[in-house]
Structure 1
Amino acid sequence: MRQSYLLNDGALLPCEDDAAPLQLCIAPSAEERDWLRRSFGLDAHTLDSALDPDEVSRVEFLPEALFLIWKRPESYSGNERCAFEVSSFGMMLNANQLVLISNADSLLGDLHVRRDLHRPLDILLAVLLSNIHHYQGHLKVIKLVARELQQRFNQTLHNRHLLQMFGLSESLIYYLNAIQSNGAVLGRLRDQGERLKFPPEALALLDDLIIENEQCIRQAEIYASVLSGLMDARGNLLNANMNEMLRKLTLINVVFLPLNLIAGIGGMSEFSAVTQAIPWWVSYPLFVASLAALSGLMLVVLRRLLGASAPGSRA
């Protein structure tokens, strides 16, 4: 799907003009891909890269334009895994037009309410700023979700909550990687801004974007470090509680094992039938003695096996 927007008094307005300053291509069809190749010289590899969610952020400076791939956060839907996903989209900027290529239709965000967009470069920087704010908003949500999961885990000690915390930690790693790669793109844009004859206000906004992106990186690093430490502590707590539960079950088994042994010996009707010629006060003590001897033999064998397999033991 392709949408066109013109700039009127600093605002974006939809239109039907192929020469409009902003062209938004959402999951372009074969016909729209052909139009992008003819109008902007974008080959199949470039288009596939723009739509690949695993593509790394980068910027390419062409003779008359620049092509940029940016990592953006996906909208969080509250899934069971508590995972926050990232994807990629492409931007092609020349002197007169900006082309946005994406699989999602939420790139423009709140740009429709802005009144300070006067050129395609302003739209590009506004999109980048909106995505950085999107990352910051998601980091706040991750912090709140992590705190809620900690409270639930403390109450129930359920493995499901620990797995959800692992999902959050994995999301933070992907976020951190995406934000850092976006920072490298911003650095290259700032370095080449004067050569590309960016206006002073655009260069100043690029400096602000770099600062906000660096703050976003530090925030993601802090959250990832804190969440990793909390998961280690919660995992150790879960293991300790499990060991305590197993100890209690073992004590219960130890208490009932002699009772089961006595009940089993007292109910051996076949043994009584085989040893009916022998007095019970002779046959049963002999049976118990044979059990004790067999237990001692097994104990000796197990100790030798464990001693042979212990590290540092000599053959």
Structure 2
Amino acid sequence: MRTLRLNLILLAVVAVATLLAVMLGSRFVGFDDFLAIQRGTARGGVDFIVMNNRLPNALTGLLAGVALGVGGALFQSLLRNPLTSPDVIGISLGGSAAAVFAMVVWGLQGLSLIGFTFLGAVLVALGIHLVSKRGHDVGGALILTGIAVAAMLQAVIQFVLTRADERVVGDTFRWLTGSLNSSTWPHLALLGATLLVLVPAALLAGRWLRLLELGDEAAASLGVRVEPARLTLVVLGSALCAAAVAFTGPLAFVSFMAGPLARLLNRGRTSLLLSGLCGAALVLVAETVAHTAFGTVVLPVGVVTGALGAPFLMILLIRSRRV
């Protein structure tokens, strides 16, 4: 019942955050403006601002936050380490490296770039899993392998950017920052359809997490086929994070923060749905701050999530030292 109440409260928070993200900005949009849009009598381009800019941005941020929150919680529970996330172990960088290569070398944009980014993140995740699955400490090996791969991919991104045209570099850097400003209704529909498959699948597969957290031998004794279960969770977590990165660019630290925040609210228990709602709330709040806190300067949402993530990491490190 406590988890259900928390989910309902977080759902209300996400709804309010979505409304604020649409209302606040360089021009305030009030309820009378919403009514005018419904009647078709809106003036001053308010209908364009809401329907072609703020609303698709907010809904894309909501869905991306859910995907990153659920995907990050899957990895943190699977690896039994709250300080790990797809950002740390190279999965997000896999999508970023694929996107940078596709933009710089082949000039890809739109749906082809989204597909290439998604494929890059998933392939990197599977490669990390295959390299690290031998041995007794699979979780530790996966983390170390992921950190090494992340460093290599970061070097690849820097090398490709040094060989690119200056105009392409500017567009690429904006994408690498993480932004919702290029969101469109067709992209939103595609992201929604993707998550309509992945999120329920992750929630169903999440029943293995509590058993795998007990250790491989204990999980096997309770009837879990450890290796297929782990591979399924890795694929689902990777696909969720890859979907978000493909449509928004890498939103720093969202997958890292959502899971621990949900466990803090839920008295230390893992809840994938609660983690997804926390991720959505984080992205929407960051989007509102990015558009309102700095006057006429509009920041990419990834800048704000990165600024939030750094002190959050320090707090987690301090808490872990006290335990």
Pick the TM interval, shorter chain: under 0.3
Q: Which has the higher strand share?
A: 1
Q: Which has the higher helix share?
A: 2
Higher RCO structure (Cα 8 Å, ≥6 apart): 2
Q: TM-score, normalised by structure 1?
A: 0.26
Q: TM-score, normalised by structure 2?
A: 0.25
